Chain A
């Protein structure tokens, strides 16, 4: 048992060493391929970073649906307070914010950069902003919360678009799919790039394959070192490529936060997690391994006819 495991370990260590030596012997080609594949992996990493931001934004916006309730003029403060408490008591409501007409106008004027010297605010009703709980469904909003608020005599009108965040989610899902499709294409690109590099290497090393065949190497023996070469190339390219989203996230973090702050948002650019980076590197290594397999398909190099 132990002898068998030792033999398997020795076989794989030898194949890995041969794989490394092959990459070193062809170091110019290896370096160029590494650079190309790193760029592709880096681009894939940037897509992952984009996806991460999209998920964060989606989460924020999903958590943010709200209903603006315009109250009638001249409603007593105690009635407003009662209504506010009643609405806040609903399961689907996260918070209720009360604004006077003057406050609402001041915010509106400030957002447009106007002087707040108008008498218009006196014409504006008080209002309640009802922040709904995260993931409240459109049905719950349309059939439960809106009718409940609307039937109250103090309510003049209300403004709600229960479908807005669903439309937004659909748009963001579309973005997610586009990103994933592009990522899959990039993975295919890595597989084919590595297949092409190793195919070229195999042609260069046809003498070695012939000699190995002559001295009794199995196809598995010859393949194994190529598979290690491919996986190693993919892994190294993954390591280098993973630096790209890390550097981009670091460089863009402050400007993104500044931009978000100017819109009154607490959004922060989320860098890729260590698990995401490990996934990126792992996928790259697997793509390298798969590329090596592709390069070995239907190969006549193993044929003894060349001897």
Chain B
């Protein structure tokens, strides 16, 4: 499903964000990506979302070599990937429904289909009753849930979340995790970058740890072998 093959990323500032990362993530897998700030978690997700490109190496997603995608094909790839960031990036002057509808408008879906999917997505994140309210009037937790609804409304095959619980209290964070689990159960591959230990302990799944751009080795049981 996802294959990093000797992937490195060096920014123009000279810093090595990723160093020769080799990794396979299976279809429908739920993976945590952890590590200290600046370890390279966000860079990995940006590469997967094609918001950035590797300096070297090969990145294959769903059989598609992302390095070979033409520039004009990138938006179409992004439509199949749900992205959730630490900041919800909602448009404050639009309603919750309009925010969630954006990916469907971009994908050129008809109004009836858009309406159906928006309601389904909002129902999933328990925000159906807030559909007509301005996004700015939502609480932080609600805004993050609306961002999740926007990320999944176009039925992505891959969900990428970068510190999605960074601004949430433990209860809301667990609710967010539960949402990701629901999407994962219907076959969506989920990659969550976080350093929230509460979140990491709340779910038993493969956890990948990055340190200074390098992926730490993982024991056969799935436990990360920490450096001494």
Q: A214 to B78, Cβ gap below 8 A?
A: yes
Which of A29-37, A157-165, A216-224 forms part of the interface with chain B?
A: A216-224
**Contact count band on A:** 10 to 19
Inter-chain contacts of A208 with B (CB < 8 A): 91
Inter-chain contacts of B49 with A (CB < 8 A): 214
| Mask of A45-85 contacts with B, CB within 8 angstroms, 1/0 | 00000000000000000000000000000000000000000
| Mask of A285-307 contacts with B, CB within 8 angstroms, 1/0 | 00000000000000000001001
Q: B110 to A216, Cβ gap below 8 A?
A: no
Which 8 A-B residue pairings sit nearest by Cβ, starting from the closest?
A: A216-B79, A216-B78, A215-B103, A304-B51, A217-B106, A216-B75, A218-B75, A211-B89
B165 close to chain A: CB less than 8 A: no
Inter-chain contacts of A213 with B (CB < 8 A): 75, 78
Distance in angstroms between the alpha carbons of A207 and B88 in the assembled complex: 11
Inter-chain contacts of B52 with A (CB < 8 A): 304
Q: B79 to A10, Cβ gap below 8 A?
A: no
A150 close to chain B: CB less than 8 A: no
A212 close to chain B: CB less than 8 A: yes
| Mask of B23-52 contacts with A, CB within 8 angstroms, 1/0 | 000000000000000000000001001111
Q: A11 to B108, Cβ gap below 8 A?
A: yes
Given known contacts A10-B110, A216-B79, A304-B52, what 20 new A-B pairs fall within 8 Å (CB)?
A14-B105, A211-B89, A211-B90, A211-B91, A213-B78, A214-B49, A214-B89, A215-B83, A215-B102, A215-B106, A216-B76, A216-B80, A217-B75, A217-B106, A221-B106, A304-B50, A304-B51, A307-B46, A307-B51, A307-B89
B154 close to chain A: CB less than 8 A: yes
Q: What is the predominant secondary structure among interface residues of chain A facing chain B?
A: helix
| Mask of A178-213 contacts with B, CB within 8 angstroms, 1/0 | 000000000000000000000000000001101111
Q: Which of A215, A217, A307 contacts B150 (CB 8 A)?
A: A215
B93 close to chain A: CB less than 8 A: yes
Q: Which residue of A lies closest to B51 (CB)?
A: A304
Inter-chain contacts of B91 with A (CB < 8 A): 207-208, 211
Nearest CB in chain B: distance from A213 CB, A: 8
Q: A207 to B78, Cβ gap below 8 A?
A: no
A177 close to chain B: CB less than 8 A: no
Q: A218 to B154, Cβ gap below 8 A?
A: no
B218 close to chain A: CB less than 8 A: no
Nearest CB in chain B: distance from A233 CB, A: 20
A25 close to chain B: CB less than 8 A: yes
Given A14-B105, A215-B154, A307-B85, the answer on whether A25 and B78 have CB atoms closer than 8 Å is no
Q: Which of A25, A210, A212, A221 contacts B93 (CB 8 A)?
A: A25
B223 close to chain A: CB less than 8 A: no
Name which of A7, A25, A210, A217 has the most chain B CB atoms within 10 A of its CB: A217
Q: A216 to B106, Cβ gap below 8 A?
A: yes
Distance in angstroms between the alpha carbons of A142 and B52 in the assembled complex: 80
Given A214-B83, A218-B75, the answer on whether A7 and B102 have CB atoms closer than 8 Å is no
Q: Which residue of B lies closest to A210 (CB)?
A: B89
Distance in angstroms between the alpha carbons of A28 and B88 in the assembled complex: 28
Distance in angstroms between the alpha carbons of A207 and B94 in the assembled complex: 12
| Mask of B133-174 contacts with A, CB within 8 angstroms, 1/0 | 000000000000000001000100000000000000000000
Nearest CB in chain B: distance from A18 CB, A: 8
B201 close to chain A: CB less than 8 A: no
B15 close to chain A: CB less than 8 A: no
| Mask of B63-103 contacts with A, CB within 8 angstroms, 1/0 | 00000000010011111100101000111010000000011
Q: B75 to A207, Cβ gap below 8 A?
A: no
Nearest CB in chain A: distance from B70 CB, A: 12
Inter-chain contacts of B79 with A (CB < 8 A): 215-216
A-B contact pairs, 29 of them (CB 8 A): A10-B108, A10-B110, A207-B89, A211-B89, A211-B91, A211-B102, A212-B106, A213-B75, A213-B78, A214-B49, A214-B83, A215-B78, A215-B83, A215-B106, A215-B150, A216-B75, A216-B76, A216-B77, A216-B78, A216-B79, A216-B107, A217-B106, A218-B72, A218-B75, A221-B75, A221-B106, A304-B50, A307-B51, A307-B85
Distance in angstroms between the alpha carbons of A213 and B81 in the assembled complex: 12
Name which of A7, A208, A215 has the most chain B CB atoms within 10 A of its CB: A215
Nearest CB in chain A: distance from B77 CB, A: 8
Name which of B72, B89, B154 has the most chain A CB atoms within 10 A of its CB: B89
